[in-house]
Amino acid sequence: MENFGLVQEKLEAFIKKYYLNLILKGSLLFIATGLIYFLLVVGLEYLFWLSTTGRGILFLLFILVELGLLFKFVGIPLFKLLKISRGIDEYQASEIIGNHFPEVNDKLTNLLQLKNNSKQSDLLLASINQRSKELTPIPFSRAIDFKKNRKHLRYVFLPLLIIIGLVVAGEADAITHSFGRISDYNKVYLKPAPFNFIIQNNDLSAREGENFNIKIQTVGDFNPEIVQLLVNGNENFMKQTSPGVFEYSFTDLNEDLEFQLQSNEVVSEDYMLEVIKVPKLLNFEMLLDYPEYTGMKDENLSGTGNVSVPEGTRINWNFITRNVETINFKLPDSLIQLKALNNKAVFERTLVTNLTYSVSSSNRLIKNYENLDYTVKIIKDEYPEIAVRTEKDSLNTDIQYFKGDISDDYGLSRLELVYYSEENKEDPETINIPVSKESFDEFHFSFPGNIALESGSSYNYFFLVYDNDAVNGAKSSRSETFSYRKKSADELENEKLQEQNDAIKNMGEKLTEFEKSEEELEEISRLEKEREELNYSERKKLEEFLKRQKKQNEMMKSYSEKLKKSLEENENVENSTMEKELSKRLENNEKRLEENESLLEELQKYSEKIQKEDLGKKLDKLSKQNKSNQRNLEQLLELTKRYYVAEKKQKLARDLENLAEEQEQLSEDSEENNSENQENLNEKFQEFQEEMDKLEKENEALKQPEDLNREEENEESIENDQKDAKEQLEQNKKSDAQQKQKDASKKMKQMSQQMQESAMMQAGEQLEADAEMLRQILDNLIVFSFEQEDLLDDFKDIQQNNPKYAGKLKEQSNLRENFRHIDDSLYMLAMRNPMVNEVITDKLTNVEFDLEKSIERLSENEISQGTASQQYVVTGANDLANLLYQILGSMQQMMANPQAGEGKGGEEFQLQDIIQKQEKLMQEMKEGTEGKPRPEQEGESQPGEGEGESGELYEIYKEQQMLRMQMEKLLEENGEKPGYNPTEEMQKIEEQLLDKGFDPETVKRMQKLQYELLKFEKAFKLQGTDDKRKSETNRIDYANSLQNQIDNAKEYFNSTEILNRQILPLRQIYREKVKDYFGKGRD
């Protein structure tokens, strides 16, 4: 059975080799037939350039045929080899083997049959074994010869030779391209043209929204002239840039584009231009939340990232996106990535410094797309600005007025005045000044106002303005620092005396110019009288003279105002009478200068238009005014000098008394009593002596010097005592030094007292001498008046051909000389007594002028005009006598009661006395009026009046004038006057007495005056009560002092309230322009 097993194994090996041979044979046949079919299919497509459908069918048939051939030649034997399908069995295999090996013939078949016999026996088994043993040596597998398949190779070589031939011929592309077109049967392939389209772009892709420039080149037998680009059925002509090269630009790409190229009948394959979606920032907004204190409304800015905002602004960025995953918010020191949710992203930050940032967007395909750089400029809250203009009060230089402009970019919070003394700089005081909270304001202030400052101390002060900065805290800016000296009483007195001295010097210089001007005016008047008409050069000379005269008037008026101010500030009551008289003289002098200035302006304005006669009259009037003014100024200057000497003497007496007190205090102070302090007092006494020397020189400059009663021996004794005290202190002999110091102090006090007493005694003696001199002048004036009146009567009765005419004319000239003596005497008296005022000077000037005119007209035989001038002389002399009589009465009253008028204790009694006397005068006027006829014409003398009646009327006139002067004096001493002023009505009554004499209308006016005086008395009493109440109110008035200081400054600058400007909702750049505008406006 072992032998049979071997036979069986060999039989299976045969079957396996049998099928392997079939597979080899089938493979060769498959390759041969497959290649031939492949060449057939490729050749068919190549020859006929089939459509996509034909290529599809051909490709399908190619696959089916190839699969069929593979299945037939290879698949079937392979399946049988693998016993997947049924193949040959052992009997069929034995037949094949028997056919190949003759010796086997049917043996193998029989063996298989025996083995398969169901009846088994030993004999059968022996027979199987015998036959198996016989067949064992025979190699069954040799029945299959693989070499026989060589004959099939010729079928394979045939298509291979064809392919090799095509490759060698360079037509291999025909096979590959054709098979490629068959395999890609869905794609449209056109029959090869004479040229091909080649796209030059490396990549057919572009970003959304961008442009894409496609560039192609044609390669072939020739180059077409026109190439079209087909997109969605639309034909677009491409631009030829060079032969065979074409370009076309796709703009604003948003979606993928499929296109073809076409030229004539040649159409390219389909191309796809891919559009890459970009991360797009569609828009972003900046919500600007400004700090509340700026007063600016919040804003919403769109489309920009550059902005200028105030410090402390909170900014909210809102981004609107598309195709964005993240927003890259890059700061100088960090990168913030904002996630885009629902196409939105948000970022916010509060800024106090400038911010430079960039914004870009990203998605999975594109990173940092469109990197945009922006800047947020932070506008720092600027410091407030302050500009202060200062002016000193022209009347009171101790008062300083301020007008200031304050501003800030967003608003003001407060304004302070900060002041401190130089001795205590570390402890300043502040005063809040109310200001607007807006961006601009104007303020006014006066310093020191009611601020309590220490006398004799120096202060520094400035204005401090604060803004409303809520981010950094209120910032402040300060003005320049101003200085102020709170002068002591001694400093004020020295300053006042210095001002008086300066004004006196200036007035003296101008007075010299007045004298020169008078000579020039006389020359112009002479020319005007001699010529019929002034020529051009003479009129120019007149114009220049008028200009200079006007300027001199203005200067004299200025000096007069300064002197008057200085007198008003004087607190020395001992000289109050003289001060009041001087002040009144100065005030009247200012009015006269104004009148003179009006005449000058009239002459200056109409000098070329005035007729010759009118010009002469106006020049005469100007000459008369100038003479009167010159004399008044000379008198006023001399009186002021005398007053200055008296004042300075009194001040030196007080300074000496104070020095005596210091000397005594030093002698009693053991700690401070040393040689240095004593030397200081010695120097002060030397300064006193130097001032006394100056006073002597100033006194000698007076036309009638005073007796200063200077005791130089006492001064020398004091000086020696002080030197001895210093030497003894240096030698540490304090007890001896103290005695010398006390001696010096005692002598100083005695000298001071003597100086003050001598001044009072001299004033009394001078008053007596002046009264006596005035009495003599008055007697001479009355004699002159009578003589002139007699001479007037003579000229009325004489004819010009009368031999006595020349003698009478000479008498008139003698009267003129007599009056000049009176004039000179009054002039000298006026130089030392202010009661001889400008009214007297005017009367003197008028009388002198009328005397000259009377002589001039009588010399020319103009008797009527000459007697008229004489009548003016008589009237003027009588008026002058009346005025001198009143002044004499006042002098006698002052001598009888030296203290009269110095206080206000007798006010009520004096007013009642005036009322009683006024009533008495009214009764006298009634008695004189009863039975008297009313004059036919006003202003003419009553022909029926006798000398007694005229004398009675004259006495009433003098009494009325005296009452008016007393009333004026009473009102001056009272200081503040009630609304009604009775002196004006009294003046009118005086005029009516002269014009109408005894007249019922004058009586009615006097009755009305009496009624008004009674009401005036009640008002006068109420005023005293109001003064008391006012003094009490002043104690609680300090609360309103700040507003008063502000109001006073506004009034001084003649300013109005600043416009109430509200803060406009402007951007910062416009705020700055508005600010600049108002700043320039204020410049």
Task: Determine the pLDDT at residue 598.
Answer: 63
Task: Determine the pLDDT at residue 272.
Answer: 92
- What are the strands of the beta sheet with 344-351, ordered from one edge? 299-302, 280-289, 313-322, 344-351
Q: Mean of the pLDDT values across residues 89-115?
A: 65
Bigger pLDDT: 451 or 1056?
Answer: 451
Q: Mean of the pLDDT values across residues 96-103?
A: 66
Cα 765 to Cα 572, 576, 649, 760, 772: the distances in Å are 20, 18, 17, 9, 11
Cα 148 to Cα 101, 152, 381, 417, 894: the distances in Å are 17, 8, 110, 133, 184
Contacts of 926 (CB under 8 A, 6+ apart): 1003
Task: Determine the pLDDT at residue 106.
Answer: 67
Task: Determine the pLDDT at residue 1072.
Answer: 54
The verdict on whether omega for the bond into residue 448 sits within 30 degrees of 0, i.e. cis, is yes
Task: Determine the pLDDT at residue 199.
Answer: 92
- Scanning 731-830, the segments in alpha helix (DSSP H) are 734-797, 805-830
Task: Express each pLDDT in 516-575 by its tens digit.
Answer: 666 666 666 666 565 656 666 666 666 666 666 666 666 666 666 666 666 665 544 444
Bigger pLDDT: 156 or 174?
Answer: 156
Task: Determine the pLDDT at residue 951.
Answer: 61
- Mean pLDDT for the chain overall: 77
Task: Determine the pLDDT at residue 460.
Answer: 92
Task: Determine the pLDDT at residue 908.
Answer: 40
The pLDDT-based confidence of 1083 (bands split at 50, 70, 90) is very low
- Is the pLDDT reported for residue 283 higher than 50? yes
Report the percent of the chain where pLDDT is more than 90. 13
- Is the pLDDT reported for residue 1050 higher than 60? yes
Q: Residue 276: what are its φ and ψ, rounded to 5°?
A: -90, 125
Q: Residue 252: what are its φ and ψ, rounded to 5°?
A: 45, 60
Cα 930 to Cα 926, 949, 956, 957: the distances in Å are 6, 13, 16, 18
Q: d(Cα 723, Cα 729) in Å, to the nearest integer? A: 10
Report the range of poorest mean pLDDT among 42-51, 182-191, 1045-1054: 1045-1054
- Is the pLDDT reported for residue 883 higher than 60? yes
Q: Residue 271: what are its φ and ψ, rounded to 5°?
A: -115, 155
Can you give the residue ranges of every domain in the chain? 2-168, 190-276, 280-379, 392-487, 489-651
């410049």: which residue's tokens?
1083
Q: Residue 940: what are its φ and ψ, rounded to 5°?
A: -105, 150
Q: d(Cα 423, Cα 420) in Å, to the nearest integer? A: 8
The pLDDT-based confidence of 1037 (bands split at 50, 70, 90) is very low
Task: Determine the pLDDT at residue 307.
Answer: 92
- Is the pLDDT reported for residue 292 higher than 70? yes
Q: d(Cα 216, Cα 240) in Å, to the nearest integer? A: 10
- Is the pLDDT reported for residue 1053 higher than 60? yes
The pLDDT-based confidence of 317 (bands split at 50, 70, 90) is very high
Cα 325 to Cα 93, 320, 338, 367: the distances in Å are 77, 12, 9, 10
Cα 136 to Cα 130, 144, 883: the distances in Å are 10, 17, 197
Report the percent of the chain where pLDDT is more than 70. 71
Bigger pLDDT: 48 or 190?
Answer: 48
Q: Mean of the pLDDT values across residues 87-114?
A: 66
Task: Express each pLDDT in 492-533 by its tens digit.
Answer: 777 776 776 776 666 666 666 666 666 666 666 666 565 656
Contacts of 79 (CB under 8 A, 6+ apart): 85
Bigger pLDDT: 664 or 939?
Answer: 664
> What architecture is the 190-276 domain classified under in CATH?
Sandwich (2.60)
Q: Mean of the pLDDT values across residues 1025-1043?
A: 46
Task: Determine the pLDDT at residue 216.
Answer: 94
Contacts of 977 (CB under 8 A, 6+ apart): 971
Q: d(Cα 939, Cα 954) in Å, to the nearest integer? A: 15
Task: Determine the pLDDT at residue 162.
Answer: 83
Q: d(Cα 290, Cα 313) in Å, to the nearest integer? A: 5
- Scanning 569-611, the segments in alpha helix (DSSP H) are 576-606
Bigger pLDDT: 269 or 496?
Answer: 269
Task: Determine the pLDDT at residue 1059.
Answer: 38
Q: Mean of the pLDDT values across residues 750-777?
A: 83
Q: Which amino acid is residue 908, in one-letter code?
A: E
Bigger pLDDT: 148 or 1037?
Answer: 148
Q: d(Cα 819, Cα 917) in Å, to the nearest integer? A: 35
Task: Determine the pLDDT at residue 246.
Answer: 94
**Most confident region among 237-246, 544-553, 992-1001 by mean pLDDT:** 237-246
- Angle among Cα 147, 149, 152 to the nearest 5 degrees reads 140
Q: d(Cα 846, Cα 627) in Å, to the nearest integer? A: 10
Calculate the CA 345 to chain-centre distance: 43
CATH topology identical between 280-379 and 392-487: yes
Task: Determine the pLDDT at residue 108.
Answer: 64
Task: Give the closest residue to 583 by CA, choosing from 558, 556, 565.
Answer: 565
Encoded tokens for 673: 């009593």
- Is the pLDDT reported for residue 655 higher than 50? yes
Task: Give the closest residue to 314 by CA, choosing from 468, 471, 467.
Answer: 471
The pLDDT-based confidence of 909 (bands split at 50, 70, 90) is very low
- Is the pLDDT reported for residue 422 higher than 90? no
End-to-end alpha carbon distance in the chain? 143
Task: Give the closest residue to 32 by CA, choosing from 177, 172, 181, 162.
Answer: 162
Report the range of poorest mean pLDDT among 94-103, 881-890, 959-968: 94-103
Task: Determine the pLDDT at residue 542.
Answer: 66
Bigger pLDDT: 528 or 707?
Answer: 707
**Most confident region among 275-279, 422-426, 523-527, 1029-1033 by mean pLDDT:** 275-279
Task: Express each pLDDT in 111-170 by its tens digit.
Answer: 666 566 555 555 555 655 665 555 566 666 666 777 888 888 888 888 888 888 878 877
The pLDDT-based confidence of 912 (bands split at 50, 70, 90) is confident
Parallel/antiparallel/unpaired status of strands 369-379 and 307-310: parallel
- Is the pLDDT reported for residue 353 higher than 80? yes
Bigger pLDDT: 448 or 838?
Answer: 448
Helix (H, G, I), strand (E, B) or coil at 223: coil
Q: d(Cα 463, Cα 451) in Å, to the nearest integer? A: 15
Q: d(Cα 378, Cα 350) in Å, to the nearest integer? A: 11
The pLDDT-based confidence of 580 (bands split at 50, 70, 90) is low
Task: Express each pLDDT in 620-654 by its tens digit.
Answer: 666 666 666 667 777 777 777 777 788 888 888 88
Q: d(Cα 993, Cα 1001) in Å, to the nearest integer? A: 10
Report the range of poorest mean pLDDT among 192-201, 604-613, 979-988: 604-613
Calculate the CA 319 to chain-centre distance: 40
What 3 state SS string does 533-573 have? CCCHHHHHHHHHHHHHHHHHHHHHHHHHHHHHHHHHCCCCH
Q: Mean of the pLDDT values across residues 349-371?
A: 90
Q: Mean of the pLDDT values across residues 94-120?
A: 63
Task: Determine the pLDDT at residue 1073.
Answer: 53
Q: d(Cα 448, Cα 434) in Å, to the nearest integer? A: 17
Bigger pLDDT: 462 or 1036?
Answer: 462
Q: Which residues of 889-926 are buried (b: 16+ CB within 10 A; e: fewer)?
A: ebbeebeeeeeebeeeeeeeebbeebbeebeebbebbe
Q: d(Cα 599, Cα 603) in Å, to the nearest integer? A: 6
Q: Select 280-379's CATH number: 2.60.40, 2.40.50, 3.30.70, 2.30.30.
A: 2.60.40
DSSP string, 687-738: HHHHHHHHHHHHHHTSSS-------HHHHHHHHHHHHHHHHHHHTT-HHHHH
Encoded tokens for 788: 């002139």
> What architecture is the 392-487 domain classified under in CATH?
Sandwich (2.60)
Q: Mean of the pLDDT values across residues 777-782?
A: 89
Residues in the chain: 1083
> Can you list the positions of beta strands (E) in 325-398?
326-331, 334-339, 344-351, 355-362, 369-379, 385-392
